[in-house]
Amino acid sequence: MEAPNARIVMNADEIARALRRIAGEVTERNRGADGLCLVGVRKGGVPLAYRLRVLLRELEGRDVPVGTVDINLYRDDLGTSLAAPVVGRSDIHFELEGRVVLLVDDVLFTGRTVRAAIDALMDYGRPKAVQLCALIDRGHRELPIAADYIGRAVETRRDERVDVLLDADDGGPDRAEVRASAEAAR
């Protein structure tokens, strides 16, 4: 169900089409899926990484390993704005050395989450390259970070929040929404 005062910027069909396009772009740029792995940023990037895995399997006929990374210990505001950070689990059960890592997140905003995710990845090894995929790029960068693959660029105000809802608990369809927020923390 759409939240009150929310505007939908991507519906289920648009999300599915964007992910198919991204999977095609990934295989084109990397000349297939050899040496590729997916790492979803907890929490929103994880389901997108698994969906991309299915699409890459359809295109390339092979499974691409998927891992997850939690960035809470790597945040640059850890000591200042988080009273009691909840540290989730990172699961990367394959070698990163020599691989191209497709780092997947739902929303790209300031770039700080991506910076933290890259720091976390380096604890698992030194990949050949890290490419960034975001379903929504909403701008407002504070760091010089750009996505290699995006589903959609969406103009937002800094005081808005973007939520990507996949297999939503509210029973509604997949969608990405923008709504006003006192603290747009993405």
Predicted pLDDT of residue 183: 47
As a whole number of angstroms, the distance between CA 2 and CA 60 comes to 35
**Residue 184, SS3 per DSSP:** coil
**Reported pTM:** 0.90
Percent residues over pLDDT 90 in the chain? 79
As a whole number of angstroms, the distance between CA 35 and CA 41 comes to 20
Q: How far lies 101's CA from each of 2, 7, 75, 96, in Å?
A: 33, 32, 20, 7
Predicted pLDDT of residue 185: 45
User: Average pLDDT, stretch 69-90?
Assistant: 68
Quote the tokens at residue 80. Answer: 């200042």
Q: Which domains does the chain have, with CATH numbers?
A: 13-77+88-157 (3.40.50.2020)
User: Average pLDDT, stretch 23-41?
Assistant: 97
Torsion sign across C-alpha atoms 117, 98, 95, 34: positive
As a whole number of angstroms, the distance between CA 133 and CA 119 comes to 17
Predicted pLDDT of residue 77: 60
